């Protein structure tokens, strides 16, 4: 038996209004990812070329998602999205100015990219026919962005482990906090917010294990963060 998913009515006013906010989040998130990878290219000159390539991919993602909004005839609510991204972007800039490469990589490559992977995985089955193939392509790229961070952190695990945990404690609640304002819109476009959080946690935990944490330690850190988010 195959489960059927009830698809949203892409032409309803409620869908289009919710999409104007979600679409803007994605466009702004991709645009910031472009900037973050360019800053990382300066911080890690030996990988500058790779990081510039990743930045260019993010710029393309932003343009592709602009196209998804245009296709549905919605005007993305960019000011709202920018305001919701301020705290996370500020954390990245602070780390970047301090020359803290570990925090920059944790924020962009592990947290933001896990968030992107989770969001696009949840969106894929409920996306309209125009957005679906675009989202599937973007998802493949995001996996590469995650791996870049994992591959940099893994060989330095012993030195960076505690810094990674400290950075998670600062930045994961900020990332989850962004979802608060979007819950009703996510529901409207067919994504259960709780599923998105679950997918994020699973993806993020996998990336922590990939760099060297034991599954038990990951669960401990993430459970602590989830408890805090629900308190
Ligand atoms: C990094 O490549 C991009 C970062 C983008 C982050 C997007 C966060 C979006 C939050 C909620 C949207 C979920 C639905 C996705 C629909 C396209
Ligand atoms: Fe992206
Ligand atoms: Fe990305």
Q: CATH no. for residue 205?
A: 1.20.1260.10
Confidence at residue 63, expressed as pLDDT on a 0 to 100 scale? 98
How many residues does the structure list for the chain? 231
Q: How far is the CA of 157 from the centre of ligand 3 (A)?
A: 22
Round to whole Å and give the CA distance between 187 and 210.
32
pLDDT tens digits in sequence order for the chain, 231 residues long: 566 778 999 999 999 999 999 999 999 999 999 999 999 999 999 999 999 999 999 999 999 999 999 999 999 999 999 999 999 999 999 999 999 999 999 999 999 999 999 999 999 999 999 999 999 999 999 999 999 999 999 999 999 999 999 999 999 999 999 999 999 999 999 999 999 999 999 999 999 999 999 999 998 888 888 777 777
Round to whole Å and give the CA distance between 219 and 163.
17
Residues with CB under 5 A from ligand 3 (ion): 33, 142, 145
pLDDT in tens, 100-146: 999 999 999 999 999 999 999 999 999 999 999 999 999 999 999 99
Round to whole Å and give the CA distance between 174 and 126.
26
**pLDDT more than 70, % of the chain:** 98
Return the ligand 1 atom nearest residue 33 CA.
1
Give the residue among 126, 174, 118, 187 at the shortest CA–CA distance from 146: 118
Residue with tokens 């993020």: 204
Q: How far is the CA of 145 from the centre of ligand 3 (A)?
A: 5
- In-domain check, residue 191: yes
Number of domains in the chain: 1
Confidence at residue 62, expressed as pLDDT on a 0 to 100 scale? 98
Confidence at residue 1, expressed as pLDDT on a 0 to 100 scale? 56
- In-domain check, residue 66: yes
Copy the structure tokens of residue 212.
Answer: 């060297």
Q: Which domain holds residue 55?
A: 13-230
Contact, 174 vs 133, CB < 8 A? no
Copy the structure tokens of residue 226.
Answer: 């989830």
φ and ψ of 42, to 5 deg: -75, -35
Q: How far is the CA of 1 from the centre of ligand 3 (A)?
A: 35
Confidence at residue 222, expressed as pLDDT on a 0 to 100 scale? 87
- Cβ neighbours around 202 below 10 Å, total: 14
Ligand 1 lining (C-beta closer than 6 Å): 22, 25-26, 29-30, 33, 58, 61, 112-113, 115-116, 119, 123, 142, 145, 182, 191
Contacts of 32 (CB under 8 A, 6+ apart): 85, 89, 92, 112
How does DSSP classify residue 127? S
**Among 87, 119, 125, 189, which is best to mutate for testing ligand 1, by the most ligand atoms less than 8 A from CB?**
119
- Give me the chain's average pLDDT, please: 95
Q: How far is the CA of 180 from the centre of ligand 3 (A)?
A: 22
Residues with CB under 5 A from ligand 2 (ion): 30, 58, 61
Among protein residues, the one with the nearest Cα to ligand 1's atom 14 is 119
Give the residue among 160, 165, 148 at the shortest CA–CA distance from 109: 148
- In-domain check, residue 7: no
């Amino acid at each position: 038996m195959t489960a059927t998913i009830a698809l949203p009515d892409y032409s309803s006013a409620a869908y289009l209004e919710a999409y104007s906010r979600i679409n803007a989040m994605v466009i702004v998130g991709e645009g910031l990812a472009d900037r973050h990878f360019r800053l990382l290219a300066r911080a890690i000159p030996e990988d500058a070329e790779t990081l510039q390539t990743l930045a260019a991919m993010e710029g393309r993602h932003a343009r592709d998602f602009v196209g998804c909004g245009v296709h549905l005839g919605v005007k993305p609510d960019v000011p709202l999205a920018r305001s919701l991204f301020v705290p996370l972007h500020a954390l990245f800039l602070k780390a970047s100015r301090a020359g803290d490469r570990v925090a920059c990589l944790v924020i962009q490559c592990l947290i933001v990219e896990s968030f992107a992977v989770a969001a696009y995985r949840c969106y894929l089955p409920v996306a309209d026919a125009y957005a679906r193939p675009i989202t599937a392509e973007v998802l493949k790229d995001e996996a590469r962005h995650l791996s870049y961070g994992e591959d940099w952190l893994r060989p330095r695990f012993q030195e960076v482990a505690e810094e990674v945990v400290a950075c998670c404690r600062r930045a994961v609640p900020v990332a989850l906090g962004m979802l608060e304002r979007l819950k009703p819109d996510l529901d409207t476009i067919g994504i259960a917010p709780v599923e998105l959080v679950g997918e994020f946690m699973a993806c993020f935990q996998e990336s922590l294990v990939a760099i060297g944490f034991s599954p038990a330690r990951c669960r401990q850190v993430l459970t602590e963060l989830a408890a805090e988010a629900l308190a």
